[in-house]
Amino acid sequence: MDIQDVLEFASQTSPGMIRSHNEDSVTYDAPSGLVVLADGMGGYNAGEVASGIAVSVIASEIRQQLQSVKPEKIDSPSGDEVGVVLLRENLKKANFSIFNAANSQPQYSGMGTTVVTGLFYDDKVAVAHVGDSRMYRLRGETFESVTKDHSLLQEQIDSGMISKEDARTSKNKNLVTRAVGIDTDVVPEIHVYEVQVGDIYLFCSDGLNDMVVDEEIGSTLHMLKANLPLAATELIQLANDNGGRDNVSVILVKVNGKFSAPRGWVEKILSWFKN
Amino acid sequence: MPAKLILSMDGVVLKEYLLNKERTTIGRKPHNDIVIDNLAVSSEHAAIITILNDSFLEDLDSTNGLSVNGQVTKKHFLQNNDVVEIGKYKLKYLNDQPAQSTPADFEKTMVLSRPVKTGSTSGNAEAELLRTQTNAIKSNGSSDTPAPVAKAPTPAPAAAQVHQAAAIQILNGPNAGKELELVKSLTTLGKPGVQVAVLARRPHGFFITHVEGVKFPMVNGESTGEQPHQLNDHDIIELAGVKMEFYFKA
């Protein structure tokens, strides 16, 4: 099956109830199976600029490069799948663009952004993230965060200093340990996961998971999985009803069928005819 | 404003201590930051590790132990107004700043300039952690940020959740008479795959929204369409052939 026939997308973003600016940027590209979400930071409108650059660089570059490469192939120098290389290289490209813009224009000085981006191919999803924007997965009844934040709080949880429950009352939220655009290079964390039919993936900025507990996000997705745009709207409303103290963005991806890459010559020929 | 501890005994305040160090020690010996000269107190009794705005209390294998709010504990993540008891002495922890000190400071995600090391909670690891300078990317602090509170629409505080309880009662079919209280923020109604609607409990009321199915829910005989529809007391909902009444509970 063609990837755009089996993946269903929905996205929503809101400045929240308190802030006048929306520094989040989101996009998805169904034919490429690509999702990009960024949560910018920086004075005045620099946060929007940083997240906007990240999203447009990553989305346009990957869309274009997918014309000539297959994400499921193995990249020869690195030994990684091409999909992983595409995410890594283009995150670095976005980092470079933001860093240069920040250094050439004083009003953008110090801007940066978190990024979470997913590329679906061959019954898999490759996820790259930097900072505290997340990807969650709902599979059957199980809803869990797949990415682990690059934040002070997460490091404290990992080292056992603070429990996950206690972390909710921490006064040290919003301190990220990695961001895109603040240094000459960036190290994204990238993992590849098998995808199952029926899975729902949620990409979100911290404006969602800071305002709504995971259990409630999961049950909302579970209840409204038949209507993805409504699920996205309800999630934003939950965050805003709980105070909406930050920008909040969500992208939902529902897997309605398999999308394995054509293998063997018969399948390959058939796939040519389909295009 | 750093968090502070107020030392008291028998209701008499003895001293106030600011938690402005990464490690504040409590004990009987004079080298401690908080010295309690009493034989029930071990020479090095406890320590408080403070990381930015969070403080953690740790028992240093003291002879008589310590308790927080009446519970004996070895390690505790201190919350505003916690009372730490060591023998007859009480230490009240005060950290009344909200999660972020002002609304303008909130959601200001910042980047720590160096990866933070959080190893064990003892010795050099946390000293290293606290030397890590935080590099506020968003440098226009609350002073020159246009007051977002004034401009923004009044946020609905979490406490303003619908006070009024509401329920639906099924009016026909095999389940007639059954009542379902709407306690959760979302409740789905109907048959999956046939017709489903969701009832959302929001700060300003209850709303019904179509989720799936070729037919839309009916309220008082009229189709709601795809948009959320606010429910009024005694509205009649019709969904997948089932009629139900929505009402507020006293």
CB–CB contacts below 8 A, A to B: 164
- Of residues B138 and B99, more confidence is placed in B99
| Structure confidence at residue B112 (pLDDT) | 65
Give me the helices (H) in A125-163, please.
152-158
Tell me whether A149 touches chain B (CB under 8 Å): no
Domain range A3-148+176-274, CATH class: alpha beta
In A, minimum Cα distance to B209 occurs at A230
Q: What are phi and psi of A3, to 5 degrees?
A: -60, -35
d(CA B76, CA B59): 9
Q: How far is B156 from chain A (nearest CA, A)?
A: 6
The ipTM (two decimal places) reads 0.79
Q: How far is B10 from chain A (nearest CA, A)?
A: 30
- Measured between beta carbons, the chain A residues lying within 8 angstroms of B198 are 223-224, 230, 234
pLDDT at residue B237 is higher than 80: yes
| pLDDT digit string, tens, across residues B122-160 | 333 333 333 333 333 333 333 333 333 233 333 444 444
| Residue of B54, B112, B198 with shortest CB distance to A177 | B112
Task: List chain A pLDDT tens, one digit each, 275 residues.
Answer: 688 899 999 999 999 999 888 999 999 999 999 999 999 998 767 999 999 999 999 999 999 999 999 999 999 888 999 999 999 999 999 999 999 999 999 889 889 999 999 999 999 999 999 999 999 999 999 999 999 999 999 998 998 888 888 888 888 877 899 999 999 999 999 999 999 999 999 999 999 999 999 999 999 999 999 999 999 999 999 999 999 999 999 999 999 999 998 777 777 777 666 55
Torsion over CA: A210, A232, A61, A56 (sign): negative
Mean pLDDT for B74-87 is 92
- Measured between beta carbons, the chain A residues lying within 8 angstroms of B54 are 162, 170-172
Gyration radius of chain A over CA positions: 18
In B, minimum Cα distance to A174 occurs at B109
- Measured between beta carbons, the chain B residues lying within 8 angstroms of A226 are 192-193, 196, 211-212
- Measured between beta carbons, the chain B residues lying within 8 angstroms of A244 are 155-156
Count Cβ atoms below 10 Å from residue A219 Cβ, excluding itself: 18
d(CA A113, CA A56): 13
A238, B185: Cβ pair inside 8 Å? yes
- Measured between beta carbons, the chain A residues lying within 8 angstroms of B115 are 177-178
pLDDT at residue B103 is higher than 80: no
CA-to-CA separations, A147 to A81, A84, A173, B133, in angstroms, rounded: 19, 15, 17, 26
| Structure confidence at residue B149 (pLDDT) | 29
pLDDT band of residue B113 (cuts 50, 70, 90) is low
3-class secondary-structure state, position B117: coil
A161, B151: Cβ pair inside 8 Å? no
> Which A residues, 183 through 202, put their C-beta within 8 Å of a C-beta on chain B?
none
pLDDT at residue B35 is higher than 80: yes
| Structure confidence at residue B126 (pLDDT) | 36
Mean pLDDT for B204-228 is 92
What letter represents residue B123's amino acid?
A: G
Q: In this structure, what DSSP letter does residue A108 have?
A: G
Mean pLDDT for B216-245 is 93
| pLDDT digit string, tens, across residues B169-187 | 999 988 889 999 998 889 9
B200, A224: Cβ pair inside 8 Å? no
